Amino acid sequence: MKSDLTLRDLTGNQKKISLWRNSLVRRYLVLALLVTVLPLLVVTWLYDRFTGELLEDLGEQQVQYSMNATRAALSGFLKARQFELETIVDLPNIERFVLEDPMSSDLEPTHALISFETDSFDIYGVLFFDAQWELKAALPGVASSGSPYWGEMELSLAGLPRRKFANFWLIGPQEPRQGLSGWFLLAAPLPKGADDTSSPGFVALHIRFASLTELLKNQSRIDGFTPLVSTSDDHRFTVNGQIALDETPSWLSEEFAPGWSIEVVKHDPAVDVTEELRRPVFLLGVGVSVVLVTGFFMTLIMRTKRRFVPLIEGAEAVSRGDWNIHIPPEGNDEITLLAKAFNRMGGRLQALIDSRLDVEKKAVIGEFSASIAHEVRNPLATIKVCVQSFPQDGDPRNTELMTLVLEEIDRVNGVVENLLSFARPIDPERVRVTAGDLLRRLVALIEPLAVRENVLLSLSGDQNAMLCVDENQIQQVLMNLALNSIQAMPDGGELNFDVKSDQDSTVIAVSDTGVGMASEALERATEPFYTTRCQGTGLGLSISKRLAQLNGGDLQISSEPGAGTRVSLTFNAPGDKHG
Amino acid sequence: MRIRALVATLMLWLWVPVVYGQILLAREALEEPQLSVGCLYPLTGPMGFFGRDANVAIGMALDRIHKLNQQYEAIGEKLYPRLKVLLEDSKGKRHRSATIARQLVEEEGVSVLCGVVYSSIALEISAYAQQKEMLFIGAGHSSSRLTQEPVNPWYFRVNNDSRQSMRAGARYLKEMKLEQPWTTLAYVGPDYDYGHQALEDLLEGLEDLGVPFRISGEYYPKLSEPDFSAYIEALLVSPPDIVISNFFGDDFANFVRQAHLQGLLKVSRLANFDTGGGYDVIAALGNDLPPGVILSGHHHINWPDTPRNREFVAEFYRRSDRYPNFMAESSYAAILAVAEAWREADTPDAEGMRRALEGMKLPLPEDPPGFQSWIDPVSHQIMQVTAIGESQPNDDYPPAKRMLGNWKIYLPEIQP
């Protein structure tokens, strides 16, 4: 970014101003970045540092609290099954299921009661074993499937852990295998028959293992902790009753049945891509924010520079004496107002200086003209008298020469009169007069000349507009302007006198269709002694402008070569005090 | 609660503005029934909608039999029997079902049992029917164990079983491999006989077709499980290409809704080849059923587009102001099968009907043009076409927001 500005001082030496190093905006930028980014990074670091630990602590507390509830749920599930089993054991003829056909009509009432007691999706069925744990009968429940209820009556307890649990046996669990769910047995010895001396065997509830592990569900919802059921054969099972593949040692363990525990494994929360990316994404976000903020301020600096540089250059130009400065006003803000004020200041200073120069110039010219006129007019009068005194010899040639000399003396005298008029104009005697009166009188005077020069005269506009001017002086001004216009139309043309008036002013515009003026001539047209005609004195427009100003007006010329010239005489509207 | 479908049907007939029909039926109603059928369906509870649809459909079947009798009478053909159908609310309970079955047979004197939604209960009723040497027309349950060796000679099933559905599913999966290659399957089914048997049937079907695949997991949530989140999370640990689910009714609707919410359906295709395409599931899911789920059912209300199927659906709607789930057509088929067996039997007893049912052809609303349902004399399983489709936006059958489309049709693997 180009941030330097080269300026030239009053002595002409160049100097560079660094807009970036010295910029207020830059300072604000650095400050804003420090104020926003530093606390953000500090807070983020603290958040990152402590939130993880806090969540972990909260998770640990939550696990410990919910462990109690989970343990109660699991042991409650087993107790409910124990109660069902006790009810079955107490049923009449229950021991006969080991020895007889369970579908026999004798056992039908008991069978119906067993079915009623175990009508649950948590129980696959009720099994009857003899004293050697050989399966003798299998009564299917609603969730039963395949063996031993349908097809082959096979169920092996070999290899399954067997633990005494109060008056019951807890056997299993049998882990799930392909096509089969996991299960465990809760068994109780059958009561002795009337003739028996020992228990004929056992009755067992064939229980869906996942119904037990699913009770871990609430605990499994705590992030970073996995609850498992550990059984007496050191197997661990997930909430779905599947063998757990996670071998992480347990962080918390609580037994809910002999050899069966709830274990909670603590580990880092599952590595989630979005979690892993969170920190880099956050830092990237901070970086992007810094870049955006910096970009914003850089743009601000560039814009500010673009607005301030013309002001600085303008001030520098004024210091060098160049008053004709114009700072293009962009936008509508304080800087625009400053630029406009600056432009007004330059314009007014230029006008003041021009006016001062004009006054001084006029004073010098007036003094000079008065002196010349005085020194020339007296000898000229003497010369004229002397020439008129020459004797007439009747020679026509001499008579003609005499006439020429007298005419030249009169012309020089006219020039001297003009010089005196310019140098010491007569104070105007202002009266109220309509523009129409002035113009009609003028037209009457110049009409013969206009006709001869093939110039068409016309009046337009508000002829009743009132003026408060010296009638003779303004008549002289208008005559001067009209003659200039006629002379500017050697091949004829149109000369229009137009009057426009409003509450504040009256403008009399004298427009011709003549040859017009070049821009250089236009600029100098009202300077004394400036003329483009060989016979001109260069005082006509100077005097006209002076007279207009003496009458409270102004004279402005606009012209275009080949298209004509327009001279506007602007007078303030006459006040009531004059009327 | 006991609903006597015959009485309900008579009430309907009395409203029919045909004088002849009223007189005939009044006369029929006054006469002793020639055959009593006892049907077991849950009419209340979570699966009660199955039984309520069966109730309407049984009435429609009785009306059809009545109408055909009028035609046969006019031309002097053998008539269908005067039927008495007792529909009992099993509530989907095993013990209650077994008790009611005994009461129907031993107290009400029914000659034929029919219905039953849960396969494990059907196994018990089937064993009881075999013990009593009476017919049990299975309609509503699907476990193929009931029609596998050793076949109960008194058991016949009139809806596709899990073996037919899953073997059709295996053919679908084989074809799918060409368009959308897949390698891993996971299975989620209800933890009872039907759920386990269905996976066995699918695996057998895929192996017979030589389709290479790998099972990435199998899960058996219990029946009526409301929360599948733990199982869906387990599936999401290593998402398979296709998840096969064999839940039905509200269980399947819950599973789909939760799988959709947990993002499983974004990473795996879901298929249910047996009953997931039932209207009850589709209507219950509404907009929660994403397009592209592969589904089938035992009967579809928008396939086949035949006059008989359209008429069946329209008549059901007229009677109940709702569209039927597949249980309606199964129970309808059961009553027609019983009546047809009695009419075709050489002796009007259980043995005669049993013999008539073996190999019997039974035209049904779900039969596409050129195909007629028939009962395999070996397995006693009805042979029907399996239509598998994909869920698509469809507002033609409100309140459902989806229906199946993009059908693939699979004829039975054996011919009569």
pLDDT, residue A327, reads 81
What is the structure's pLDDT at A10?
52
* End residue of a domain, out of A357, A374, A407: A407
B255 & B126 share domain? no
Least confident of A206-220, A536-550, A552-566, B240-254: A536-550
CB contact under 8 A, A121 and B98: no
- Do residue A27 and residue A172 come from a single domain? yes
Question: Are B156 and B10 in the same domain?
Answer: yes
Dihedral over Cα of A305, A306, A309, A311: its sign: negative
Whether residue B351 sits in one domain with residue B266: no
pLDDT at A15: 63
Encode pLDDT of B285-294 as tens digits.
999 999 999 9
When divided into structural domains, chain B yields a total of 2
Tens-place pLDDT, residues A80-109: 999 999 999 999 989 889 888 888 888 888
Closest CA to A125 of B162, B123, B99: B123
pLDDT-derived band at A563 (thresholds 50, 70, 90) equals confident
Buried b (16+ CB within 10 A) or exposed e, A266-293: beeeeeeeeeeeeeeeeeeeeeeeeeee
Residue A445: is its pLDDT beyond 80? Answer: yes
**B238 lies in the same domain as B346:** no
| Domain co-membership, B285 together with B393 | yes
Q: B52-56 long-range CB contacts below 8 Å, 24 or more apart?
A: B53/B316, B53/B320, B53/B324, B53/B325, B53/B327, B53/B328, B53/B331, B54/B87, B54/B115, B54/B139, B54/B140, B54/B327, B54/B328, B54/B330, B54/B331, B55/B3, B55/B5, B55/B8, B55/B87, B56/B316, B56/B319, B56/B320, B56/B324, B56/B328
CATH code: domain of residue A469: 3.30.565.10
Average pLDDT, chain A: 83
B86 in any annotated domain: yes
What is the pLDDT, as a whole number, of residue B26?
Answer: 32
Asked whether residue B175 falls in the same domain as residue B133, the answer is no
pLDDT of the residue at B400: 96
Output the pTM of the full model: 0.66
> Are A235 and A273 in the same domain?
yes
* Segment B192-204, tens digit of pLDDT: 999 999 999 999 9
pLDDT at position A23 is 62
Residue A527 — very low, low, confident or very high, per pLDDT cuts 50/70/90?
Answer: confident
Establish if A400 belongs to a structural domain.
yes
Contacts of residue A125 in chain B, CB cutoff 8 Å?
A: none
Question: Under an 8 A CB cutoff, do B95 and A121 touch?
Answer: no
pLDDT of residue B12: 34
For the stretch B91-140, pLDDT in tens is: 988 889 999 999 999 999 999 999 999 998 999 999 999 999 999 999 99
Residues B255 and B402 in one domain: yes
Query: Which amino acid would we find at residue B66?
Result: H
Of A150, A208, A239, the CB nearest to B230: A239
A464-517 confidence digits (pLDDT tens): 998 899 888 888 889 889 988 998 898 899 999 999 998 888 999 999 999 898
Whether A192 maps to a domain, the answer reads yes
Residue ending a domain, choose from A231, A263, A291: A291
Write out the residue range of the structural domain in which residue B102 sits: 2-160+304-384
- Helix axis angle for B326-344 and B350-357, nearest 10°, is 120
Report whether B101 contacts B137 (CB < 8 A). no
Q: Are residues B363 and B290 in the same domain?
A: no
Assess whether A366 and A435 both reside in one domain: no
**Is it the case that residue A67 has pLDDT exceeding 70?**
yes
Distance from CA of A147 to the nearest CA of B (A): 10
Hey, is the C-beta of A217 within 8 angstroms of any chain B C-beta?
yes
Q: How far is B106 from chain A (nearest CA, A)?
A: 13
Q: Mark whether B291 and B315 lie in a shared domain.
A: no
CA–CA dist A435, A464 (Å, integer): 6
Are A219 and A104 in contact by the 8 Å Cβ rule? The answer is: no
From the CA of A109, how many Å to the nearest CA of chain B?
A: 10
Residue B325: its pLDDT value, please? 95
Cα B292 to Cα B189, B404, B405, distances in angstroms: 20, 9, 9
Q: What is the pLDDT of residue A9?
A: 56
Number of domains in chain A: 3
- Pick the more confident residue, A304 or B82: B82
- Taking contacts as CB-CB distances below 8 angstroms, the residues of chain B near A142 are 93-94, 118, 120-121, 192, 223
Query: Are both A38 and A178 inside the same structural domain?
Result: yes
The answer to whether residues B283 and B351 belong to one domain is: no
The average pLDDT across B16-41 equals 58
pLDDT band at A18; cut points 50, 70, 90:
low
Instruction: Specify if A422 maps to a domain.
Output: no
**Chain A CB contacts of B132 below 8 Å:** none
Q: Per the CB < 8 Å rule, is B199 touching A220? A: no
Give the closest-approach CA distance of A20 to chain B in angstroms.
Answer: 54
User: What is the model's pLDDT at position B154?
Assistant: 97
Query: Which of the listed residues A266, A291, A316 is the one where a domain comes to its end?
Result: A291
Q: Is residue B415 part of a domain?
A: no
Range name among A79-83, A489-493, B53-57, B337-341 with the lowest pLDDT average:
A489-493
Cα–Cα–Cα angle for A352, A356, A359, rounded to 5 degrees: 140
How close does chain A come to B123, measured CA to CA in Å? 8
More confident residue, A137 or A4: A137
What angle do the packed helices B19-30 and B48-75 form, to 10 degrees? 100
Provide the residue count of chain B: 416
pLDDT at B5: 45
Comparing CA positions, the residue from A179, A270, A189, A273 lying closest to residue A226 is A270
Q: Are residues A531 and A574 in the same domain?
A: yes
Q: Is the per-residue pLDDT at A570 higher than 70?
A: yes
Taking residue B233's Cβ as centre, other Cβ atoms within 10 Å add up to: 16
Q: What CA–CA distance (Å, rounded) separates A522 from A526?
A: 8
Please indicate, yes or no, whether residues A474 and A515 belong to a single structural domain of this protein. yes
For position B14, what pLDDT does the model report? 31
Please tell me the predicted confidence (pLDDT) of residue B10.
34
Residues of B in contact with A141 (CB under 8 A): 94, 120
B123 and B270 fall within a common domain: no
CATH number of residue B98's parent domain: 3.40.50.2300
Residues B155/B127, Cβ–Cβ less than 8 Å: no
Question: What burial class does residue A195 get, using C-beta atoms within 10 Å of its C-beta: 0-12 exposed, 13-18 middle, 19+ buried?
Answer: exposed
Q: Are residues A559 and A465 both part of a single domain?
A: yes
In a domain, B61, yes or no: yes
To test the contact with chain B by mutation, choose from A142, A209, A212 the residue with the greatest count of B C-beta atoms within 10 A, namely A142
A3: pLDDT strictly greater than 60: no
Partner B contacted by A212 (CB < 8 A): no
3-state SS class at A393: coil
Q: Which residues of B touch A214 (CB under 8 A)?
A: 230
Q: Kindly list the distances between the CA atom of residue A87 and the CA atoms of A78, A135, A553, B75, B245, in Å, as whole numbers in the listed order.
A: 14, 21, 129, 63, 37
Q: Tens digits of per-residue pLDDT, B81-104? A: 999 999 999 998 888 999 999 999
Task: Find which of A326-340, A432-446, A498-512, B160-174 is predicted with most confidence, using mean pLDDT.
Answer: B160-174
Query: Nearest-5° angle of CA A512, CA A518, CA A520?
Result: 130
Does a structural domain hold residue A78? Answer: yes
Query: Three-state SS for B305?
Result: coil
pLDDT at A313: 82
Contact in structure between A416 and A435 (CB atoms under 8 Å): no
The mean pLDDT of A144-148, rounded to a whole number, is 88
**Contact between chains at A119 and B98 (C-beta distance less than 8 A):** no
| Residues A529 and A398 grouped into a single domain | no
pLDDT digits (tens, 9 = 90+) for A264-277: 998 765 555 566 67
Give me the count of residues in chain A.
579
Whole-number Å distance between alpha carbons of A101 and A111: 11
If phi over 0 gives left and psi between -120 and 50 gives alpha, with beta otherwise, what is residue A137?
beta
Q: Could you give the 3-state DSSP secondary structure of residue B81? A: coil
Give the pLDDT score at A4: 61
Same domain (yes/no): A394, A441: no
On whether both A373 and A458 belong to a single domain, the answer is no
A437 and A510 both lie in a single domain? yes
> What pLDDT is attached to residue A192?
81
Q: Name the residue range of residue A535's domain.
A: 429-578
- Element spanning A547, H or E: helix A540-550
What's A155's domain CATH number? 3.30.450.20
Question: Cβ separation of A214 and B197 shorter than 8 Å?
Answer: no
Residues B114 and B131 in one domain: yes
Task: For residue B4, name the pLDDT band (cuts at 50, 70, 90).
Answer: very low
Residues of chain A with Cβ-Cβ distance to B207 below 8 Å are none
What are A189's strand-pairing partners? A202
pLDDT of residue A544: 87
In angstroms, what CA-CA distances link A92 with A87, A117, A141, A192, B292? 10, 14, 20, 11, 56
Q: Do residue A569 and residue A449 come from a single domain?
A: yes
Does residue B14 lie within any of the structural domains? Answer: yes
More reliable by pLDDT, A539 or A165: A165
